């Protein structure tokens, strides 16, 4: 287990499902998650059993250092991505990746949602290969800094400003948040961004799926929760975050 290491009817929104834990427990889990995010610490976020059914390690992007990248690649093992909100992605000039590619393999119709959130994979221009822990940490924190700059002055920040600091292709995948956040979509992209917004952090959050070394599948929620308890990392259900933050 790595964790120690459109039809005739609309599909139901998993966020409309009731929070499975008791209200007090759900509120407490959200409070712990917000406190951790405010301190720059990670949170384990399980989305929904009828969506991806995955738990991600989620960090505020501005707090990520090389040790955090080590933590994600060793204890989670999925793809380390940085989510930015829709306004920031527009300021950066970042498209959805599927819209930018002209290839017969492109088919952005995942089983779990209407579309994926992937935009361009990038490296910061001061990195070498871009894949080392230090290189990825630099790219991630500089994306957070750029997101904060674009938020403070969206009319002045341009795609050329982004390109002056970042190059593509690279080793950190950028994700575009939905236009209306959790009102539009309830993936880890939007859940991470909602946490960042709630604690007044830069609109950028790092997400990395937790995988099971024995099965190769997504880490089961009970195993992710047990890992979080051992490591004293807050574990929170997506439904509780949606209830509190949407």
- Residue 112 among the catalytic residues: yes
What does the DSSP 8-state code read for residue 133? H
Pairing of strands 118-124, 235-237: unpaired
Rounded CA gap, 17 and 6, in Å? 20
Of 112, 133, 145, 161, the active-site residue reads 112
CA distance 82 to 167: 15
Chain center to CA of 212: 19
Name residue 55's beta-bridge partners: 46
Tell me the H-state helices in the chain: 23-38, 66-71, 86-92, 97-100, 133-152, 159-165, 188-198, 221-231, 238-245
Identified catalytic residue from 47, 54, 56, 190: 56
The residue from 13, 41, 145, 171 that is catalytic is 171
Q: Please identify which of the residues 54, 85, 123, 208 carries the catalytic annotation.
A: 123
List the beta bridge partners of residue 46. 55, 237
CB 44 within 8 A of CB 55: yes
Question: In angstroms, how far is CA 128 from the centroid of its own chain?
Answer: 24
The reply to whether 81 belongs to the active site is yes
Q: Which of 217, 66, 89, 84 is nearest to 137 (CA)?
A: 66
Q: How many CB atoms lie within 10 A of CB 167?
A: 15
Catalytic residue among 52, 71, 81, 135: 81
Catalytic residues: 56, 81, 112, 123, 171, 209
């Amino acid at each position: 287990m790595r964790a120690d290491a459109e039809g005739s009817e609309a599909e139901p929104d998993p966020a409309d499902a009731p929070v499975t834990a008791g209200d007090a427990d759900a509120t407490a889990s959200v409070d712990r998650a917000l406190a951790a995010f405010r301190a720059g610490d990670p949170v384990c976020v399980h989305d929904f059993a009828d969506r991806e059914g995955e738990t991600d390690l989620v960090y505020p992007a501005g707090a990520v250092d090389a040790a955090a990248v080590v933590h994600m690649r060793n204890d989670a093992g999925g793809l380390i991505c940085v989510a930015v909100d829709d306004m920031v992605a527009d300021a950066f000039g970042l498209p959805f990746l599927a819209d930018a590619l002209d290839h017969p393999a492109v088919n952005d119709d995942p089983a779990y949602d209407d579309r994926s959130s992937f935009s361009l994979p990038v490296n910061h221009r001061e990195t070498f290969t871009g894949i080392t822990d230090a290189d990825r940490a630099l790219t991630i924190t500089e994306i957070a800094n750029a997101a904060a700059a674009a938020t403070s002055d969206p009319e002045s920040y341009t795609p050329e400003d982004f390109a002056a600091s970042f190059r593509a292709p690279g080793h950190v995948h950028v994700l575009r948040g939905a236009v209306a956040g959790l009102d539009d979509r309830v993936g880890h992209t939007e859940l991470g961004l909602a946490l960042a917004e709630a604690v007044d952090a830069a609109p950028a959050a790092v997400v990395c799926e937790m995988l099971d070394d024995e099965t190769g599948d997504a880490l089961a929620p009970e195993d992710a929760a047990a890992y979080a308890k051992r490591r004293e990392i807050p574990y929170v259900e997506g439904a509780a975050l949606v209830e509190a933050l949407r």
